[in-house]
């Protein structure tokens, strides 16, 4: 998933627009964008939307995730109960405290799937693992936490509030030191867990130049996608995380060069010596565009 677009779950119009945005995934939000007294109605709207949309969803349609409320609130169980008649493709777990939260959600989804009579394990989990300071110190616990884990992502806004930071970005728009640290730690943890790393939102949604730069840096560093808060951000994100034709052709050439040696560990390519890590990276590039 290159682009994951948030949309409030209390607006059928906005959800329909999000589905037509070109995003790889749409995240129906029951958490931050919904006031406490509006959550019951938002659950009803989300349930109706899922019940209507999922049965007619084509393979090329966006995946549908739901961001439930976090485990420290009294809302998350009601969120899941409301979704049992139309479970989404996945759940975004906010403010996760450790891998134990992922495991607890996985168990709850076992019961929900049993009630819904859908295949066990179908509903995936995307965990937001840096919004709580304690979670940053527990990042290794997410490794192997659940077979449902579809990826890890990070966020700076809630962590800023918890730390008490006056700002989380420099004047030039780049993240300050604490947030670069947790971003990098999350990326390494996702790699160790063998799940995709998804970059955080870019909240200055009218600044397309800034988003283009931030998304390109994330793609360079190894992230495979980025979350969005506005439909206009989706094309920019999709382009940043889609290998260019030149990158694809180069990856094909590197794979072919290794194959031509009959199993050598090192090959000469364009005047440089390449070893196995270069082959692995080339194959990952091709896998992202569906090339074996």
Which pLDDT belongs to residue 259? Answer: 83
Judged by DSSP in three states, 85 sits in coil
| Predicted local distance difference test score (pLDDT) of residue 292 | 60
Q: Which residue has the higher pLDDT, 83 or 256?
A: 83
pLDDT band at 85 (very low <50, low <70, confident <90, very high): confident
What's the Rg (C-alpha) of the chain? 20
Number of helical H runs and strand E runs in the chain:
11, 10
Stronger pLDDT, 10 or 116, i.e. the higher one: 10
**Domain's final residue, options 201, 221, 240:** 240
Residues 146, 193 contacting (CB under 8 angstroms): no
* Mean pLDDT of all residues belonging to the chain: 93
Strand pairing report for 90-93 and 63-67 = parallel
Shared-domain flag, residues 151 and 270: no
Q: Are residue 138 and residue 268 in the same domain, yes or no? A: no
Domain limit, last residue, from 200, 219, 240: 240
24/39 Cα distance (integer angstroms): 26
> Can you tell me the distance from the alpha carbon of 265 to that of 245, in angstroms, rounded to the nearest whole number?
26
CATH at residue 230? 3.20.20.60
Whether residue 155 is found in the same domain as residue 258 = no
Both 65 and 90 in one domain: the answer is yes
Average pLDDT over residues 247-264: 85
For residue 274, the model assigns a pLDDT of 87
Q: For residues 21 and 145, state if they share a domain.
A: yes
210 and 260 assigned to the same domain: no
Rounded mean pLDDT of 165-172? 94
| pTM score | 0.91
* Judgement on whether residues 186 and 234 belong to the same structural domain of the protein: yes
Question: 265 and 283: one domain?
Answer: yes
pLDDT band at 289 (very low <50, low <70, confident <90, very high): confident
Whether residues 217 and 250 fall in one domain? no
pLDDT tens sequence across 182-240: 999 999 999 999 999 999 999 999 999 999 999 999 999 999 999 999 999 999 999 99
Domain that holds residue 29: 3-240
88: three-class secondary structure by DSSP: coil
The structural domain count of the chain equals 2
Residue-wise pLDDT tens digits, 106-151? 999 999 999 988 889 999 999 999 999 999 999 999 999 999 999 9
Q: 39 and 69, same structural domain?
A: yes
Co-location of 190 and 131 in the same domain = yes
What is the pLDDT, as a whole number, of residue 279?
A: 85
Report the run of H or E that residue 135 belongs to, with start and end: helix 133-136
Task: Answer yes or no: do 140 and 189 share one domain.
Answer: yes
């Amino acid at each position: 998933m290159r682009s994951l677009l948030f949309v409030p779950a209390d607006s059928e119009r906005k959800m329909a627009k999000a589905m037509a945005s070109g995003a790889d995934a749409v995240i129906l939000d029951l958490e931050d964008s919904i006031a406490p007294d509006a959550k019951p109605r938002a659950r009803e709207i989300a349930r109706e939307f899922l019940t209507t949309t999922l049965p007619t969803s084509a393979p090329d349609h966006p995946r549908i995730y739901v961001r439930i409320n976090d485990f420290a609130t009294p809302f998350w169980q009601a969120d899941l109960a409301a979704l049992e008649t139309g479970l989404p493709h996945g759940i975004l777990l906010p403010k996760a405290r450790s891998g134990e939260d992922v495991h607890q959600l996985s168990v709850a989804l076992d019961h929900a799937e049993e009630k819904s009579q859908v295949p066990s394990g179908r509903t995936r989990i995307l965990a937001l693992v840096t919004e709580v300071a304690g979670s940053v110190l527990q990042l290794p616990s997410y490794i192997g936490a659940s077979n449902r884990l579809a990826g890890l992502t990070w966020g700076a806004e809630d962590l800023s509030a918890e730390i008490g930071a006056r700002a989380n970005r420099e004047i030039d728009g780049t993240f300050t030191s604490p947030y670069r640290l947790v971003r990098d730690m999350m990326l390494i943890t996702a790699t160790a867990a063998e799940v995709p790393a998804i970059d955080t939102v870019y909240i200055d949604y009218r600044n397309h130049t800034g988003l283009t730069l931030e998304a390109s840096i994330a793609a360079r560093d190894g992230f495979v996608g980025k979350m969005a808060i506005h439909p206009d951000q989706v094309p920019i994100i999709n382009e940043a995380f889609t290998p260019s034709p030149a990158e694809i052709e180069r990856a094909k050439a590197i794979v072919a060069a290794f194959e031509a040696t009959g199993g050598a560990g090192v090959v000469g390519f364009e005047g440089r010596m390449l070893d196995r890590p270069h082959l692995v990276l080339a194959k990952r590039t091709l896998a992202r565009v569906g090339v074996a």
